[in-house]
Amino acid sequence: MAQVKLDESKTLWERWQSIADKTPDKEAIVHWSAGEEPFRWTYGELVETANKFSLALKKNGIKRGEVCAIILKHDPMFYPLYMGISGAGALPAVLAYPNPRLHPDKFRQGLLGMSQRSGLDRILTQRDLDSIIRPFVEMRESTVDELMFPLEWDLEDISESTTRDLQVVRNKVLNTDAMLLQHSSGTTGLQKPVVLSHKAILDHVSQYGEALKIDEEDIVVSWLPLYHDMGLIGAFQIPLASGVKSIHIDTFEWILAPVLMFESAHKERATLCWLPNFAYNLCADKIPDDEMNGYDLSSFRMVINASEPIRSESHKRFIDKFLPYNFNPHALSTLYGMAEVTLAFSQNPPGQKVNEITVDRQKLAQGIVKLADENTEVKRVCVSSGILIPDTEMKIVKDDRSEANEFEVGEIVVKSICLFDGYRNYPEKTAECMDEEGWYYSGDYGFVYDGELYVIGRKKDIIIVAGKNIYPEDVEVVLNELDQIIPGRVIAFGEEDEELGTEQIGVVAETKLTEYEDLRKLRLNIIRAGMTIDVNIGKVYLVPPRWLIKSSSGKPSRKANKERILAGNDEAIWTEEKFRQTSVER
Amino acid sequence: MITDRLKKVICETLDLRLDDVEIQDETVANQVPGWDSLNHVNVITAIEKDYNVRFKSIEILKCQNIGDLQNLVNSKVG
C-alpha cells in the first residue's frame, strides 16, 4: 500500500496520458451491469479510445471551448467519450437521461433553460432520443446547433491530418481554461451551471486526495449518477486522475437491486464509496440477507455519507445490518461540500469514528448550541461532517453576515483553492452567493463544535429527496396549472421520512372541492402533475380557501404552513389517510 | 394479461383504486402514480407477501414492464 503520488500535469488530459504511459495495463474503469461480465477499461485502452473520440469529434466540427452535453444510458463508451471531449478542447457536461414518465415537453423546456444558461452547443446522445430532442434543437431559442450520435461513429476512420490538428488544439490549452461544466442543483431549467478549470479539478484531486489519504491500491465503487458532483468528481474524476480504479454501476439498476453494490464491492475488493443518506436506509432495510450470503465487506475503508442531511439512525441501521458481513464500523465517514467548491469542503478523517453530539432541539431552533442534559425536553442528535480539508477556510455568519459567536448557529461560508469562478451566464446568482473577498455563501446552516463542522439545515427552501435537490417553485408552478386548485394557493415543502432516511415532497393546496370523490381525484391529479416533471409527490394535503398563511410578501409561506400542517391538529386538512382512518372508525 | 389480484396488490400499496389507473402488460412502473424508484421495493415486497413467493433482485431487474412482472409471478406460483 502506498499513498498516491501525483505528477505535475497541467491539464487533466496530460495526467490521464501520463498515467496511461506509466501503467497502461492497470485497470481504470470497471463498467458493471447486472448479470453480465463487467466491461474493463485499462488506462492504456481507455486513453487510446478517448484519443480516437477526440479525433472523431474534431472531424465532426467540435471546436475548442464548445459545451458538449452528453445524454447517454449506462454505457462503457461514456468514459472515453467524456475524456475525448475534453481532449478536443471542448467542455463535457453530463445531463440526466430522461425518465420515461417525464413529459417530453417538460424535458425540452428543461433543456432550453439549461442551454440558455449553460450555453450548450452540441448534444451527444443515442438514436432512441432523437425524436424527443430534435424538436428542441430546431427551436429558434435553442443554442444547440447539432445532435450527434457518437456511439455510432467508426473510430478507426481517422486521418493523419486530424491527428496533427488535435495536437495543435491541445498545445493551446492552459490549466486555467475551463475543463468541464456541471450543474449545481435544481430541477428543470433552474439548474445553475458551474464551470471548473483543469487547475481547479487537479487541485481538488490533490487537496481532497490528501484528506482521504488516497492509496494506489484503493478501489472506488459507485452507482451515483454522473450528472451529480459526487458521482462525477468523487467517483469518476478523482480516481481516474489519481491512477485508481473505479467501478461504475447503473443508477437505475442499483435502485432496483441495491445488492449490486455489495456484489461488486466483494468481488473487486472495493475500498471507497460515497452515498447519500437515503442509501444507508435502503441498503439496510431492503436487501434480503440471503442475497448477501458469502459477501465480505471488510475491504471498505471509507463509506462516505454526503449530499443530503446526515442522520445518525441511518448509520446505526447500516452498521447493524452489515457487521455480520465484516463491515468495519469505523469505515463510516462523512463529507460536506458542494459543486461550487468542486466537491468536498470538509471530511471526517479516515479511520476515525464519526462524532455525534446530542443537543437541545429547542435551543438549536433559536440558533444556540447547547448540549442536552437530564432537563432537556426535546433532543436532537447532530452528526459531524468532519474537519476542513487542506487549503480551505470557513466562517459561520449571522443573517447580517457578521461572524457568529462560539456555540451559535449560522450560515456556513467557505473559501477554497478549488472554488468556482461564478455561475456561467448567471451574474445575478453569482452576486447573491459570493462577496468581493471571495467567500461563498452556502445557504446551509451549521455550527462548529470541538473543531468539527455540523450541518443542520438550509436557509433556502430546497427539498432534498434521495440526494436530488428539488426547488419547491418547480413543483408549485406545475400544480398551479390544475383547475381545481385556487390559483397561486399551493405550496410544496420537504417532509422528513425517517423510514426512507430522506425527505419526501409534501404539497398543501387550497381547493373549493369538498366531496370525498372530488378530493381524491384532485389528489391523484396532483401526483400525476408531479410525474410530468419527474417528481414524486409523497403527501398531499388539501385545505379549504383562505387556509394558507401568507408571508409578508403576500404569498403563502412555506415555512409557516409546513409547521401548521405537521402540527397535525387541524380538522380542515384533508388527506387520503385521514379519510380512510375516520371511515374505519365510523 | 395482468390479473385483478396483481392489480389490487399494486393499487393498495400505492393508495390507488383499481379504476384510478389502467394497468396493462406494457405499462411500466413509473407510469403508475406514486410508483417511483424509492417505493419500488415496497410494491415488490407487497406482491411477495400476497403470493407468498420470493423474487431475486436479478429477476426483478429483468422485468421491463408489468407484463413481465406478471409472468414472473406466474412462474413462481405455477
Asked, for residue A218, whether it belongs to a domain, the answer is no
CATH number of the structural domain spanning residue B33: 1.10.1200.10
Q: Among A191, A207, A232, where does a domain finish?
A: A191
User: Is residue A57 located within the same domain as residue A180?
Assistant: yes
For residues A415 and A503, membership in a common domain is answered with: no
The residues with which A387 forms a beta bridge, in sequence order, are A347
Give ipTM to 2 decimals.
Answer: 0.86
Q: Encode pLDDT of A393-418 as tens digits.
A: 999 999 999 999 999 999 999 999 99
Residue A154 maps to a domain: yes
Q: What is the pLDDT of residue A185?
A: 63
A103 within 8 A of A128, measured Cβ to Cβ:
no
- For residue range A490-514, list pLDDT tens digits in order: 999 999 998 889 999 999 999 999 9
Res. A460 pLDDT band, cuts 50 70 90: confident
Question: Do residues A78 and A113 both lie within one domain?
Answer: yes
| Window A:503-532, CB contacts with B under 8 Å | 504, 524, 527-528, 531
Q: Which of A141, A163, A191 is the last residue of a domain?
A: A191
Task: State residue A462's pLDDT score.
Answer: 85
Alpha-carbon gap: A528 to the closest alpha carbon of chain B (Å): 6
Predicted pLDDT at A421:
84
Distance from CA of B56 to the nearest CA of A (A): 8
Same domain for A54 and A127? yes
In a domain, A237, yes or no: no
Phi then psi for A201, rounded to 5 degrees? -70, -45
User: What is the rounded CA–CA span in Å between residue A575 and residue A537?
Assistant: 13
Nearest-CB residue to B34 (from A252, A255, A527) = A527
pLDDT for A119:
86
The β-bridge partners of A390 are none
Within-domain flag for A499: yes
Query: Which residue range is the domain that position A534 belongs to?
Result: 463-585
Residue A303 C-alpha, separation from nearest chain B C-alpha, in angstroms: 21
CB of B32 closer than 8 Å to CB of B75: no
Could you tell me which of B33, B40, B65, B13 has the C-alpha nearest to residue A532? B33
Output DSSP code: residue A234.
Answer: I
In a domain, A285, yes or no: no
**Which domain range does residue B63 map to?**
4-77
Query: pLDDT grade, residue A190 (50/70/90)?
Result: low
CA distance A105 to A128: 16
Query: Could you tell me what percent of chain B has a pLDDT over 90?
Result: 67
- Of the residues A135, A158, A191, the one at which a domain ends: A191
Q: What is the mean pLDDT of chain B?
A: 92
Report the C-alpha gap between A309 and A113 in whole angstroms. Answer: 28
What's the pTM value of the predicted model, to 2 decimals? Answer: 0.90
- B54 to chain A: closest CA residue: A288
Separation of alpha carbons B9 and B43, rounded Å: 8
Question: Which of A55, A272, A86, A257 lies closest to A165 in space, CA to CA?
Answer: A55
**Is the CB of A536 less than 8 angstroms away from the CB of B36?**
yes
Residue A30 lies in a domain: no
pLDDT band, very low/low/confident/very high, at A277 (cuts 50, 70, 90): very high
User: A301 pLDDT band (50/70/90 cuts)?
Assistant: very high
Q: What is the CATH number of the domain that holds A488?
A: 3.30.300.30
Average pLDDT, chain A: 92
Asked if residue A369 has pLDDT above 80, the reply is yes
Do both A56 and A186 map to the same domain? Answer: yes
**Residues ≥6 apart with Cβ < 8 Å to A289:** none
Quote the cell numbers at residue A232. 462525477
**Per-residue confidence (pLDDT) for residue A168, from 0 to 100:** 81
Which residues are bridge partners to A453 per DSSP? Answer: A448
What is the model's pLDDT at position A83?
Answer: 97
Q: Which helix (H) or strand (E) holds A319?
A: helix A312-322
- Whether residue A444 is found in the same domain as residue A486: no
One domain for residues A446 and A467? no
Residue A121's pLDDT band, with cuts at 50, 70 and 90, is very high
Is the model's pLDDT at A289 over the cut of 90?
Answer: yes
Task: Write down the pLDDT at residue A585.
Answer: 59
pLDDT band at A297 (very low <50, low <70, confident <90, very high): very high
Task: Sort A168 into a burial class: Cβ within 10 Å, 0-12 / 13-18 / 19+.
Answer: exposed
Residues 6+ apart with CB under 8 A from A568: none
Domain membership flag for residue A32: no
Q: How confident is the model at residue A159 (pLDDT cuts 50, 70, 90)?
A: low
Q: State the CATH number of the domain containing residue A419.
A: 2.30.38.10
Is the same domain home to A79 and A180? yes
- CA of A257 vs chain B CAs: smallest distance (Å): 5
**Number of structural domains, chain B?**
1
- Closest by CA position to A412, among listed A401, A428, A420: A401
Q: pLDDT at residue A187 above 70?
A: no
B30–A100 C-beta distance less than 8 A = yes
A56 and A172 both lie in a single domain: yes
Question: Minimum mean pLDDT among A184-188, A251-255, A345-349, B68-72: which range?
Answer: A184-188
* A330 grid coordinates: 469505523
- Which chain A residues are within 8 Å of B41, Cβ to Cβ? 282, 286
Give A46-85 as a 3 state SS string.
Answer: HHHHHHHHHHHHHHCCCCCCCEEEEECCCCCCHHHHHHHH
Residues in chain B: 78
Q: What's the CA gap between A407 and A371, in Å, rounded?
A: 10
Q: Are A272 and A220 a contacting pair, CB within 8 Å?
A: yes
Read off the pLDDT of each residue in B70-76 and give the average, rounded to a whole number. 95
CATH of the domain at A157: 3.40.50.980
The span from the CA of A570 to the CA of A538, in Å, is 20
Amino acid at A112: L
In degrees, to the nearest 5, what angle opens at C-alpha A540 toward C-alphas A535 and A545? 125
Distance between CA atoms of residues A344 and A420, nearest Å: 12
* Structure confidence at residue B39 (pLDDT): 83
Average pLDDT over residues A437-458: 94
Predicted confidence band of residue A251 (pLDDT cuts 50, 70, 90): very high
Range of weakest confidence among A106-115, A238-247, A574-583: A574-583
Which residues have C-beta within 8 Å of that of residue A264, sequence separation ≥ 6? A30, A32, A38, A221, A247, A249, A270
Q: How many whole angstroms separate alpha carbon A539 and alpha carbon A495? A: 8
pLDDT digits (tens, 9 = 90+) for A163-185: 777 788 888 889 999 999 998 76
Quote the number of domains for chain A: 3
In this structure, the answer to whether residues A550 and A479 fall within a common structural domain is yes
For A247, the enclosing helix (H) or strand (E) is strand A245-249
Rounded to whole angstroms, the Cα distance separating A462 from A51 reads 40
Mean local confidence (pLDDT), A215-230: 95
Round to whole Å and give the CA distance between A177 and A198: 6
| pLDDT tens figures, A48-99 | 999 999 999 988 999 999 999 999 999 999 999 999 999 999 999 999 998 8
Per-residue confidence band for A554, with pLDDT thresholds at 50, 70 and 90: confident
Whether A119 is covered by a domain: the verdict is yes
Who wins on pLDDT, A59 or A272? A272
CA-to-CA distance for A133 and A136, rounded, in angstroms? 5
Residues A472 and A444 grouped into a single domain? no
How long, in residues, is chain A? 586
Which pLDDT value is given to residue A186?
53
| Integer angstrom CA distances of residue A421 from A191, A194, A401 | 16, 8, 21
d(CA A262, CA A279): 12
Q: Give the pLDDT score at A280.
A: 97
- One domain for residues A54 and A185: yes
